[in-house]
Amino acid sequence: GVFAHLEMLEAQAHEAAVKQEETEQQEEKIARLKARVEELRVQRDELQAKVDLQEKLQLGKEGVVSNPAQASTRDVLGWKIKSLKSMLHIFYLTGISGKLTKRGVCFCISTAYEGTYMDSYHLDLLIKPQVEIHRHSVPVFIPLEQLAKKYLQTDIRRFLSVLSDHLNAYVGRRYQADQLQEHFSDQIEGTLQRNSLCNLLVFNYKVSSKSKTFLFNVRLRYGDLCCSLPTEVIVSSTSDAPTSLAELAAAHSELFRRVALHKAFCCKPGLQHPEP
Amino acid sequence: MDETVAEYIRRTVLKIPRHEIKTVLQKWGFLSEAQLQTVNFHQTKEKVSQEVVQLCEENLADIKQAAALDIIYNHTYPNKRMWSVYQMNKTGEETDFFDLTDFKKKIKRRLRSALKNVTISFREYEDNAIWIRVAWGTPYTRPNQYKTSYVVYHSQTPYVFISVSVFKSNLPLLCQALVVASSYHDIREMELRSHSLDSLKDIVFKRYSQNFQTYYPRPLQERNVAPEIVDARIVEENKREKERIQRLNQEAFGDGPQPKLEFAQYKLETMFKSDPKMDVLNKKEPFRCLVKFSSPHLLESLRSLAPAGIADAPLSPLLTCIPQKARNYFKIREKKGLFPGSFVSP
């Protein structure tokens, strides 16, 4: 009946209440124990610190003064390490840095062009019985063996300097060719013919005159591998171009000899604008 | 369109995995985008290849275009072929102004002057790689498009990568043409072979990871770190040994991925060193033996030997010198001299 049902509900409620009280007690107990653990830990740390201090005092002869003195030596050491690291970083930024190894030296040549750092190349040198290259990461088309034969034994500074010039000039030429292909592809007709060293570039580019577009062919030859500007420039127009363009061709030829390729294409008037 | 050309194009298309056929055809550029739209690339390859041939018929494809498609196929899937590396030498010190047009002309001239019946195709890629495909004929027969040699050359480098199908009889002619066209004096085959063309390039162009000591803090590379067991009650007994192995491994292999080689072969011609009392061999002849290590990725597996506990660290320099010496075929002979030992012949 109803009363039986009510009794049953009452019993259930009672059970639930008991259970809840149990869990609450349990949780309280755990919280208390945790707090106790914390307390004990703090105590332990304090005691440990006291022990350490005692030991230090016994080692140090100045008594209580030893502590601040030790702190400052640590600071000094930290500062020395920091300044050394900065020094090494500066050396790295200059372009040629080195580190002594077990059997010799390992040099790092970092290249840059127009204010941007480019690739870094490494040379692992042995110094005994004579100076020789053990390993390296210099690209295979850079004439490393030739330079080593000439300078490595006699003047290592010169060797590094010349090698650095080669590498810097190479990344500079490569950068110009890449920029040209990336940003001025609309002005170039066909493909840009280049090679690994980027010391010969041949391509056709558009020139407009009297609202007609003509093609100029340019052949850039970089005779000096330590230089990122060409030594020889030949700009020629196609056969159907008017003779008035010959002057423009000569002007462009002069321009390419003096100015980096991507800059020449970017800022020079007369390249795409009609000439009167 | 020539029957042989049609068949050749059909067979080339069949080699391509079905889901990549469209991409390769787009790279080829011979069929227009509109034409490609008309092909259902989800049907069987047989049907796809037939439809492609049909379109090529409309465009009047000739052997040149078919050869171009073949180069593109091989450039997209270079690891299907076995590549050998050849090294050229020159004595002069003049700067090389490599002119691509000139190079191509010289190759064609040299090959055609010796053998009229050849199909020669070139294709240049962004990384200065020049691919050359030569299909060989005989003085009396047309070039056999299935008898091809592929050459990959990077200008102004002394290395040439050659893959030959079937016969090697035309190899000397090919090598000669390359030497003349690239302004070198002679050429020899290196002891370096693999299916992975890029890995061969990495090895000879020194593009693989070498561990150079520098002060410059290299950017930390993400490495697979197993979740650290933070429980202080667990102590690693051989932590030092693990670190030692790690350090030696890093010195030997560097940090980055290794070039992919499939095998290293060591031919031993050394004397069998046994107890004289055992008298194993009556004759004092070198013990001939061939040891070959094979793996889908040999150098990575060598790198994992010591950390896995299978081998002692440091590994034998005979194994770790492979990328630096740029060879995976070695001959080990007896060292002639006071101290019997073994040395690696060049």
Q: Considering only residues B276 and A46, tell me which one the structure prediction assigns the higher pLDDT.
A: A46
**For range A50-55, the mean pLDDT:** 85
pLDDT at residue number A125: 92
Q: Chain B residue closest to A201 (CA)?
A: B99
Tens digit of each residue's pLDDT (9 = 90 or more) over A20-33: 999 999 999 999 99
Smallest Cβ–Cβ distance between A196 and the set B155, B206, B212 belongs to: B155
- Transcribe chain A into DSSP letters: -HHHHHHHHHHHHHHHHHHHHHHHHHHHHHHHHHHHHHHHHHHHHHHHHHHHHHHHHHH-SSGGGHHHHHHHHHHHHHHHHHHHHHHHHHHHHHSEEEEE-SSEEEEEEEEEETTEEEEEEEEEEE-SSS-EEEEE---TTS-HHHHIIIIITT-HHHHHHHHHHHHHHHHHHHHHHHHHHHH-TTTEEEEEE--TT--EEEEEEEEEETTEEEEEEEEEE---TT-SS-SEEEEEE-TTS-TTHHHHHHHHHHHHHHS-HHHHHHH-TTSSSPP-
The whole-chain average pLDDT of chain A stands at 86
Q: What is the CATH number of domain B241-333?
A: 3.10.20.720
Q: What is the DSSP string of B100-157?
A: HHHHHHHHHHHHHHH-SSEEEEEEE-TTSEEEEEEEE-BTTB---TTSEEEEEEETT-
Query: Which are the contacts of A237, defined by CB distance < 8 A and separation ≥ 6?
Result: A207, A214, A215, A216, A217, A245, A246, A249
Nearest to A199 among B95, B100, B215 (CB): B95
Return d(Cα B105, Cα B177) in angstroms, integer.
Answer: 11
The sign of the dihedral angle between the CA atoms of A247, A250, A251, A252 is: positive
Phi–psi pair at A13, nearest 5 degrees: -60, -40
Residue A152, token pair as written in the block: 């490595």
Q: By the CB < 8 Å criterion, does B155 face chain A?
A: yes
- Which of A192, A195, A217, A233 has the highest number of chain B CBs within 10 A, making it the mutation to test binding with B? A195
Q: What percent of chain B lies above the pLDDT cut of 90?
A: 62
- Confidence band, pLDDT 50/70/90 cuts, at residue B92: confident
Q: So where are chain B's domains? A: 3-76, 83-205, 241-333
**Contact B211/B253 with Cβ under 8 angstroms?**
yes
Q: Which of A122, A141, A200 sits opposite B99 (nearest CB)?
A: A200
Q: What is residue A71's predicted lDDT score, i.e. its pLDDT?
A: 64
Q: How much is the average pLDDT of B151-162?
A: 95
User: Measuring CA to CA, which residue among B6, B4, B15 is closest to residue B137?
Assistant: B4
Tokens 């697979």: give the residue. Answer: B224
For residues A131 and B194, what is the distance between their CA atoms, to the nearest angstrom? 34
Query: Can you tell me the distance from the alpha carbon of B127 to that of B47, in angstroms, rounded to the nearest whole number?
Result: 35
DSSP B20: G
How large is the ipTM? Answer: 0.82
Chain A residue with the nearest C-alpha to that of B323:
A135
Q: Are residues B124 and A191, on separate chains, in Cβ contact within 8 Å?
A: yes
pLDDT at position A54:
84
Has residue B10 got a pLDDT over 80?
A: yes
pLDDT of residue B236: 77
Residue of B216, B321, B325 to mutate when probing chain A, most A C-beta within 10 A: B216
Phi, psi of A115 (to 5 degrees): 80, 0
A-chain residues within 8 Å CB-CB of B125? none
Q: Give residue-wise pLDDT tens across range B50-64.
A: 999 999 999 999 999
What is the model's pLDDT at position A115? 86
Band the pLDDT of A60: cuts 50, 70, 90: low
Q: What's residue B346's pLDDT? A: 41
Going by pLDDT thresholds of 50, 70 and 90, the confidence category of residue B119 is very high
Find the residue in B nearest to A226 (Cα).
Answer: B95
Contact A229, A260 (CB under 8 A): yes
- Say if residue A203's pLDDT is above 80: yes
pLDDT band at A101 (very low <50, low <70, confident <90, very high): confident
Give B1's pLDDT tier (boundaries 50, 70, 90).
confident
Contacts of B214 in chain A (CB under 8 A): 92, 97, 99, 106, 108, 122
Task: Tell me which residues of chain B, numbers 97 to 116, contact chain A at a CB-CB cutoff of 8 Å.
Answer: 97-101
Specify the DSSP class assigned to residue B312.
P
Mean pLDDT of chain B: 86
pLDDT band at B275 (very low <50, low <70, confident <90, very high): low
pLDDT at B278: 64
What pLDDT is recorded for position B283?
61
* CATH classification (class only), B83-205: alpha beta
CB contact B221 to A (< 8 Å): no
For chain B, the first-to-last Cα distance in angstroms comes to 52
* Res. B344: pLDDT tops 50: no
Q: For residue range B181-228, what is the model confidence (pLDDT) as tens digits? A: 999 999 999 999 999 999 999 999 988 888 787 776 555 555 555 556
Question: So what's the pLDDT on residue B209?
Answer: 81
Query: Per the CB < 8 Å rule, is A200 touching B98?
Result: yes
Q: Which residues pair with B194 in a beta bridge?
A: B83
Bridge partner residues of B56 (DSSP): none
pLDDT of residue B229: 61
Nearest to A135 among B157, B216, B324 (CB): B324
Say if strands A132-136 and B83-89 run parallel, antiparallel, or are unpaired: unpaired
